[in-house]
Amino acid sequence: MRIEGKGRIDAGQPVRFWFDGQGYTGFRGDTLASALLANGVRLVGRSFKYHRPRGVLTAGSEEPNALMEIGRGAAQVPNVRATVQEIYDGLEARSQNRMGPLAYDLLSVNDLFPNFLSAGFYYKTFMWPRAFWEKLYEPAIRRAAGLGSLSGKHNPNHYEKAFAHCDILVIGSGPTGLMAALTAALGGADVILAEESAEFGGRLLSEEEEIDDQPGADWVASMLDALRDTGRVRLMPRTTVTGAYDQGTYGALERVGLHVDGPAELPKECFWRINARQAVLAAGALERPIAFPMNDRPGIMMAGAVRSYLHRYGVAAGRKVTLFASNDDAHRTALDLMASGVEIAGVIDSRPEARARGDYPLFAGAQVIGTRGRKALGEITIRNNGGEQRIETDCLAVSGGWNPSVHLTCHMNGRPVWREDIAGFVPAEDAVPGLIPAGACNGTYSTAGCLTDGVAAAKQALAAMGGKTREIEIPQASDAVGGSKPLWLVPGKGRAWLDFANDVTSKDIKLAAQEAFASVEHMKRYTTQGMAPDQGKNSNIGALAILADATGRAIPETGTTTYRPPFVPVSIAAFGAGAQGKGFAPERLTSSHDASLERGAPMIEAGLWYRPSYFPRPGETTWRQSCDREVTMTRNAVGVCDVSTLGKIDIQGPDAAEFLDFVYANLFSTLKVGRVRYGLMLREDGHVMDDGTTARLGDNHYLMTTTTAAAGEVMKHLDFVQQCLRPDLNLRFISVTEHWAQFAVAGPKSRDLLNGLLDAPIDNDSFPFMGCGEVSVMGVKGRLFRISFSGEHAYEIAVPARYGEALFRQLVTQAETMGGGAYGMEALNVMRIEKGFVTHSDIDGRVVPFDIGMERMVSAKKMCIGKPATMREGLKGAERQQLVGLKPVGAVQELTAGAHLFEADADPVRVNDLGYVSSVGFSPTLGQFIGLGFLRDGPNRVGEVVKMVDHLRRVETRVEVCAPVFHDPDGEKLRG
Amino acid sequence: MRYSGWQVIKQGLTGNRGWKPAWRDPAPKAEYDVVIIGGGGHGLATAYYLAAEHGLTNIAVLEKGYLGGGNVGRNTTIVRANYGLEGNSQFYSHSLRLWEGLEQELNYNVMHSQRGVVNLFHSDAQRDAFARRGNMMVSQGDDAILLDRDGCRRMMPFLDYDQTRFPIYGGLYHPRGGTARHDAVAWGYARGADQRGVDLIQKCEVTGIDVENGKVTGVQTTRGAIRAKKVAMCAAGRSGQVAAMAGMRLPIESTVLQAFVTEGLKPVIDNVITYGMGHFYISQSDKGGLVFGGDIDFYASYASRGNLPMLEHVMEAGMTLMPMIGKSKVLRSWGGIMDMSSDGSPIIDKTHIDGLYVNAGWCYGGFKATPASGHCYAHLIATDRPHEAALRHRLDRFNTGLVMDEEAKGSQHNLH
Amino acid sequence: MRIRCPLCGDRDSREFTYMGHEIYMHRPEDAGWSPAWDDYLHLRDNPAGVTRDLWYHGAGCTGWLLVERDTTTHDILRVELATDAKRGSA
Ligand SMILES: Cc1cc2nc3c(=O)[nH]c(=O)nc-3n(C[C@H](O)[C@H](O)[C@H](O)COP(=O)(O)OP(=O)(O)OC[C@H]3O[C@@H](n4cnc5c(N)ncnc54)[C@H](O)[C@@H]3O)c2cc1C
Ligand SMILES: [Zn+2]
């Protein structure tokens, strides 16, 4: 029921929205919950286990009942708190977790058998027959469980992530937070004031409260002006601080576009990483329910929420309201409602000493022991003076006192401390370094106290930063803290809910204790109390108290509860913003990328890079045709391939040679200027880390190449070796991978092709095999290396990256006139297998030099990284699987990588396993499949026939073990 | 008390007042034949099998907190036997076979759900590496199927097959893999061990290990000294500290692994899915929450909580792989202490001290190992010989080089 | 987590890569495999409390940092360039 003239909604701006297919009107400024309540909608959801009808309980993000699906199709969001969601024109909401219409949920049969569905019952049954679990029981349980649903479609909306930095982060904008923010800003600090709600002011907006003789809301407005005037405060409404992390890092979720039907590019939410030197936690307190029989009906609400709906939204939560409380503070609910003309049918205060603060029927020392009304509350039963009495009511406001919002202070394992005087947990001291709790979240409940606390906290923060503090006048406000006496559980017939969302009742807690799940953590896990979407915000303390009682211990002894981040649930789209589609990782493109695309090359991912797979020509319909042609073309004429993705590290300095001797297994100090050498790099544990060639460009100048995959890792490793192991060596190095475009030019006509582009032609004397040097390429200074990964007479030519595309186009066009052309990764791979060159498919991180026949490359003349570890007994010997070549000789002429090897007549089972195939390709040169693999004692078995079995692809064949070099074993072509 | 559907009904009819405690709460005795340090999944399973299979019942499990409060109650519950290397292959295969009868063995519903595990791959090279692994699985007697892209699409239509940064080439499907209810595993073993006479002693932290003349004689605890003929360390993330009490250093560094769960959702993901190009894996619990995680936080830590960079990485991987989950909300994140070994594989062995045994190095994968770890450890403790499924899980393998490096990352602990 | 790099200032930990304990800076002298090598590569004190470990500022100055931290609280007590530490200890 809407109350004329009350509330902060904009009565001039009606908003049309939909709930379960029915249209309603609310006003701008309404939440979905306030608008539904204003329209008299009580039943808004179904509970998790018993599918009980539920209504709105709270007015905040701690809401356990009013969870809904918002939106349609791919944009549908499940489990949205109606108490937080602001309405906008066209908003569509649906109730969830029901089978059939909300009012007639079929699964509510569960509610008839609560005794068979008690805590942990499922651990004790559904075991027979065994096969039924996956087929019958589990699917049925899964269907019944869960809350809202995902659409199954890709997220269509935009989300954002951002960083923010400040001196002091103030979390919460009630009286405490506002004073803290102002004090901090006047003290010269850059401040962020984060407020979960759409409006600043905290409880001041929900109460009749005066500060400095102004209504609370007016004081808030003047404070916001003052904050803006400082020019130092960033106001962040609709922003919930979700987590406290190390060194002053806070996570925060901003609802940017959830409250409007905004344009597509407006992000729905933004996840902030806020770095704050200091922070003030002014998160307030949450009201706690009382567990009394049948306390879960629609219409039973928190008293503070009833006041919020009245003052913020101008909504009376009922026409005939009752109040059940154990503290003075809650009595304002009756006074405020009466002032707005709502009937108060009774105030039931469990404290015998309670006094009425106005003209309403008070039942002091009484308790609510029952309620009626299936889909909405109709009546309550109270126990009063030993007798029972029924009161007709459509709304029961409940208050069991307040719990400080200590959540963020638990995020770093801080354990809150019990304060008997307020019967609540307050933050442990220094629970989060640099986070200062103040006001209600620290157990200070009077408005005056909060104002003072806020100032003190900000001063403490300023002092911690070494800043100056300015005296600031503390406004006048009430210092009243009403009496309160905790009431946890009202005994009686019927279930008393603690965790509304997960349907955990006081009986479940007692059963847990009875079955030895007596520690608080056991109880939580056994009953699932506290695991629901509200994360126990409404139920933890009550459950703890009942457990304490059941086990005969005091609350502090029973153990404190903890809360984990996030404070409110955060959508994965916000946490992971930016990554959907291609945003997950950077895309690295070579200078020839466009030219390759123009030639129709499919690009494949190689780490972060894209590289051409093959270059199809007219008439070629399969990749194999193109690949075979590219191999043959290269072997007979000339092929061009972009190899810029290989890591290039420029190393200079008087000790460069010594450094290389140390990081490579083989010697580099003996390399002559103008020459290139293959290098084997080990990890310190003796396994192969990477390989590549390194050129000596000058006495003190080397250029190292790494594989594409290991470029970053090698760079880091070299930095480690130099800085942590050998800072005595005088050298510098830097990655120049991006600076140079580099192309392999391979094949018998490679030199002819190059000589067409080089300003000074080369020959075998100026550039012998493994020679290198500077060249001039059509006027551009470049480098030429006579190295080969294909086994052909080949070069790699490098030019500054900006000339890369032009050179690639030139090379390919020229090559085509010579019967050659560009080749891609597929052909590159086939040629290197034909030649027996290993890649990371073979040297996969578990391989040692011995395995690839390179143990003699580990120089005996010097120490190097990894050398001592290679001497371990397990790193050599016939037991190890070693590199071999493989050729199919059986009826099946195919090899598959990943297949395993067995004796020809052995069963293909693990105990008979001899090794595996690591690389395969069809060699057009040899006209058959060839492969590389690792075989136990392999080199000694050359010539033998073993069995290759690929269980997965159902390929089995006999393969001949051969030396791993299939093509030009003597290397004549390389030197030609 | 035997559990059954019938019992649930019977107790329900009498107000559930007849349920008995799942285990006793005994005071520690002065002496035991075997003292097990750590009441996690492995410690409890070890006690259970010592009692059930080796007839040893004068045993205590000493737990510093509450039973199952460590990693066994914090993990993402994936159970699989899809290892690629000799040693691990037979061990996890053995474990999966024990899982398959566990409810009946323990008379406790641990909700072992063989819903299938799919490891996605995103390049030809990855496919071949997974094929190599899958072939090992089949050779070992387990199940593995190589799915192509269309096969993946049929099973998991909600993945992004068109826009994602690293396209899905296919997946290695392990139908017998799945999940189980983690707490129930700890509780089921605890109840079974207790029923066979094992003393489960909670809030009892071991603070010292007594060794005389190279032989273990007992332990010091926060509840007094306890003598023991044999002492079995089984402290997962805390293994380093426990071993230090006996003057040992282990090839282990402890780090933090985070995990996440969303609010409850109606069934939407039926299998366990892992992403091959970033650290992300996911399944949906029977309660409806999406349970997911990624890699460890990389740095040495005992804080059992993590930081945002890894959290964000995990969420980002989820968004590129299956953008539908963007609309679900993370309810809770938490962390556990990971005993990262130097090759990423575990250790079940004797130590150089007579009567002192070590079970450690489970990294982020020890939940699935729980039955086999307990089974093999019990065998070792009872007979002083390694179980044949755990022959390679030796403590000296780092020194000899006969490591089991599934991730192929070398000896740096945090890289596995 | 944030680390104050001596060269770059206060930075988010996502700019860094962690390697492991300081021991990695003290490579054994032994030319062949020895217990010292087993120690160096594998065995760790793995303390719950203050430790010193190596971090690489890969997205910053590419400096290796020696960081003194508490593994139970994640407090960072001291940061210095590994090179400086190495030179100092040499
Ligand atoms: C987030 C996360 C996700 C994971 N996901 C998976 C997964 O999907 N699949 C999988 O197979 N594995 C997973 N794991 C790993 C798995 O949980 C662990 O490897 C396994 O649980 C470790 O064995 P445990 O159960 O015995 O350990 P724990 O449960 O940690 O038991 C060790 C016990 O020792 C106790 N203890 C320690 N020191 C002492 C002392 N001095 N005195 C007495 N008691 C002591 C501890 O309190 C603890 O209870 C995951 C782990 C985490 C943290
Ligand atoms: Zn730096």
Q: Is A396 helix (H, G, I), strand (E, B) or coil?
A: strand
Chain C contacts of A868, Cβ < 8 Å?
Answer: 28, 30-34, 37
- Residue B76: CB within 6 Å of ligand 1? yes
Using pLDDT thresholds of 50, 70 and 90, give the confidence band for residue C90: low
State mean pLDDT over B83-102.
Answer: 98
CA pair distance A177, C66, nearest whole angstrom:
39
Q: What is the pLDDT of residues A745-768, one digit of tens each?
A: 999 999 999 999 999 999 999 999
Alpha-carbon distance C42 to nearest alpha carbon in chain B (angstroms) = 5
Over chain B, what is the mean pLDDT?
97
Judge whether C21 is closer than 8 Å to chain A, CB to CB. Answer: no
Nearest by CB: A716 against C17, C73, C81: C17
Q: How far is A243 from chain C (nearest CA, A)?
A: 13
> Does residue B157 register a pLDDT over 60?
yes
CB contact under 8 A, C87 and A727: yes
Q: How far is CA B207 from CA A247, B38, B41, B62, B64, in A?
A: 31, 12, 21, 11, 10
The answer, yes or no, to whether any atom of ligand 1 lies below 6 A from the CB of B40, is yes
The answer to whether the Cβ–Cβ distance between C53 and B299 falls below 8 Å is yes
Give the pLDDT score at B314. 98
Is the CB of residue C34 less than 8 Å away from at least one CB of chain B?
Answer: no
**Phi and psi of B153, rounded to 5°?**
-60, -40
Q: Check if A132 contacts B (Cβ < 8 Å).
A: no
Atom from ligand 1 closest to the CA of residue B259 = 1
Where residue A131 falls among pLDDT bands split at 50, 70, 90?
A: confident
Residue corresponding to tokens 């290991």: A710
> Is residue C53 within 8 angstroms of chain B, CB to CB?
yes
For a ligand 1 pocket test, name from B36, B71, B238 the mutation site with the most ligand atoms within 8 angstroms of its C-beta: B71
Segment A504-554, tens digit of pLDDT: 999 999 999 999 999 999 999 999 999 999 999 999 999 999 999 999 999
Q: Residue A621 has what pLDDT? A: 97
Average per-residue pLDDT for chain A: 97
List subunits contacting chain A, requiring 3 or more Cβ pairs under 8 Å. Answer: B, C
| Chain A, nearest residue to B396 by Cα | A874
Judged by CB atoms closer than 8 Å, whether chains meet at B165 and A846 is answered as no
pLDDT digits (tens, 9 = 90+) for A415-425: 999 999 999 99
**Whole-angstrom Cα distance, residue B344 to residue A873?**
20
Position A462, amino acid: L
8-state DSSP, A475? P
Interface of C with B in 2-31 (CB under 8 A): 12-14, 17-21
Q: Which of B80, B115, B107, B64 is nearest to B245 (CA)?
A: B64
Q: Which of C22, C27, C57 is most worth mutating to test chain A (most A CB atoms within 10 A of its CB)?
A: C27
* C-beta of B259 in contact with ligand 1 (< 6 A): yes
pLDDT interval class at A224 (50, 70, 90): very high
A676 band by pLDDT with thresholds 50, 70 and 90: very high
Could A245 and C76 be called an inter-chain contact, meaning their C-beta atoms sit closer than 8 Å?
no
How much distance in Å is there from the Cα of C61 to the middle of ligand 2? 4
Stretch A431-448: mean pLDDT: 97
Is A683 in CB contact (< 8 Å) with chain C?
no
Ligand 2 centroid – CA A247 distance (Å): 17
Whether the CB-CB separation of A804 and A591 falls below 8 Å is answered with: yes
Beta carbon of B69 within 6 Å of any ligand 1 atom: yes
The token pair at A615 is 């270059």
Q: Which backbone phi and psi does A728 adopt, to 5 degrees?
A: -70, -20
Q: Is residue A75 within 8 Å of residue B262, measured between CB atoms?
A: no
- Cα gap A52→A73, rounded to integer Å: 27
At A233, which helix (H) or strand (E)? strand A233-236
Encoded amino acid at A541, one letter: I
Write phi, then psi, for A429 (nearest 5 degrees).
-65, 135
**ipTM, 2 dp:** 0.99
Which amino acid residue places its CA nearest to atom 34 of ligand 1?
B38
**Cα–Cα distance between A434 and A460 in angstroms, integer?**
10
Percent of chain A beyond pLDDT 90?
97
Q: Which of C11, C21, C46, C50 to mutate to test the interface with B (most CBs of B within 10 A)?
A: C46
Disruptive mutation site among B207, B296, B302, B397 for chain C (greatest number of C CBs within 10 Å): B302
Residues A943-972 have a mean pLDDT of 97
Contact A571, B290 (CB under 8 A): no
Sheet holding A772-777, edge to edge: A772-777, A780-785, A794-800, A740-746, A639-642, A821-822
Q: What is the pLDDT of residues A350-405, one digit of tens each?
A: 999 999 999 999 999 999 999 999 999 999 999 999 999 999 999 999 999 999 99
Q: What is the pLDDT of residues A815-848, one digit of tens each?
A: 999 999 999 999 999 999 999 999 999 999 999 9
Contacts of B126 (CB under 8 A, 6+ apart): B169, B276
Tallying the residues shown for chain C, one arrives at 90
Report whether pLDDT(A976) > 90: no
Tell me: pLDDT of A467 over 90.
Answer: no
What is d(CA A330, CA A144) in angstroms, rounded to the nearest whole number? 38
Is any ligand 1 atom within 6 A of the Cβ of residue B77? yes
Query: Angle of helix A447-464 relative to helix A175-186, nearest 10 degrees?
Result: 30
Instruction: With a cut of 80, say whether residue A561 has pLDDT above it.
Output: no
B124-128 — which CB contacts under 8 Å span 24+ positions?
B124/B169, B125/A840, B125/A841, B126/B169, B126/B276, B127/A898, B127/B169, B127/B170, B128/A841, B128/A896, B128/A897, B128/A898, B128/A918, B128/A919
* Contact B336 CB / ligand 1 (< 6 Å): yes
Reported pTM: 0.97
Residue A863 burial (CB count, 10 A): 13
Locate B147 and state its tokens. 């799915």
* DSSP string over A718-747: HHHIIIII-TTS--EEEE-TTTEEEEEEES
B223 Cα–ligand 2 center, Å: 48
Planar angle of CA A894, A896, A902, nearest 5 degrees: 95
Ligand nearest to the CA of C3: 2
Percent of chain B whose pLDDT exceeds 70: 100
Main-chain phi, psi angles of A180, to 5 degrees? -65, -45
- Helices marked H in A519-652 — which ranges? 520-527, 540-551, 555-558, 572-575, 593-598, 623-636
Band the pLDDT of C89: cuts 50, 70, 90. low
Residue with tokens 């200062």: A436
* Interface touch A155/B331, C-beta < 8 Å: no
Q: What is the pLDDT of residue A892?
A: 94
pLDDT tens digits for A567-619? Answer: 999 999 999 999 999 999 999 999 999 999 999 999 999 999 999 999 999 99
Residues A779 and A664 sit within 8 Å (Cβ to Cβ): no
User: Rounded to the nearest whole angstrom, what is the distance from the C-alpha of residue B40 to the centroid of ligand 1?
Assistant: 6
Interatomic CA distance for residues C23 and C17, integer angstroms: 17
